[in-house]
């Protein structure tokens, strides 16, 4: 069994849902070396998340963003006790959305490729209005070819 771990810096993005599959694969050329294994992705932030979902229709990403914003709206009325030391009304809402969606993914590797479904892609969900630099820790474990 072999292990590889890398930090992947993502380009700074503002609030939204982004398909980052190609960005992750480009940062991990080592995937091609594995016959079988698992890629574990972990985002090192509390107001962003990772998910697997529809990779073809961009309306799905827009709808996902709209639904999460409706489910947990920004706090303009002082509903939340945590105010983020002046970080803005999107701060605590971002923490809640991050908890609901999750900070990590595990994706099988088969013959050097991610074994996702036909329509699955890796999403970065950014819950803050202003652009933030995000990092993902990628860990590959498996049997090399």
Gap between the Cα atoms of 107 and 141, Å rounded: 11
- In the prediction, which pLDDT does 133 show? 94
The per-residue pLDDT for range 66-91, each reduced to its tens digit, is 999 999 999 888 888 887 677 889 99
- In the prediction, which pLDDT does 86 show? 75
22 — pLDDT class (breaks 50, 70, 90): very high
Sheet holding 2-13, edge to edge: 2-13, 132-144, 34-43, 104-110, 113-114
- What is the residue extent of each domain of the chain? 2-144
- In the prediction, which pLDDT does 84 show? 66
Closest CA to 126 of 27, 10, 40: 10
The CATH code of domain 2-144 reads 2.60.120.460
- In the prediction, which pLDDT does 145 show? 96
The per-residue pLDDT for range 99-145, each reduced to its tens digit, is 999 999 999 999 999 999 999 999 999 999 999 999 999 999 999 99
28 — pLDDT class (breaks 50, 70, 90): very high
DSSP label at residue 107: E
Task: Please check the confidence at residue 2 and state whether its pLDDT lies above 80.
Answer: yes
Residue 142's contacts (CB-CB under 8 Å, 6 or more residues apart) are 1, 2, 34, 35, 36, 37, 38, 109
């Amino acid at each position: 069994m072999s292990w590889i771990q890398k930090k992947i810096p993502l380009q700074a993005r503002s609030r939204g849902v982004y398909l980052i599959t190609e960005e992750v694969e480009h940062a991990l050329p080592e995937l091609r070396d594995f016959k079988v294994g698992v890629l574990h992705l972990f985002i090192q932030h509390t107001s962003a998340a990772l998910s697997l979902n529809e990779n073809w229709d961009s309306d799905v990403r827009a709808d996902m963003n709209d639904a999460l914003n409706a489910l947990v709206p920004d706090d303009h009325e002082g509903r939340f006790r945590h105010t983020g030391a002046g970080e803005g009304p999107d701060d605590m809402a971002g923490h809640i959305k991050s908890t609901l969606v999750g900070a990590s993914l595990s994706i099988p590797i088969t013959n050097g490729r991610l074994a996702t479904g036909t329509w699955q892609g890796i999403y970065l969900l950014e819950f803050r209005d202003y652009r933030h630099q995000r990092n993902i820790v990628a860990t590959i474990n498996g049997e090399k070819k």
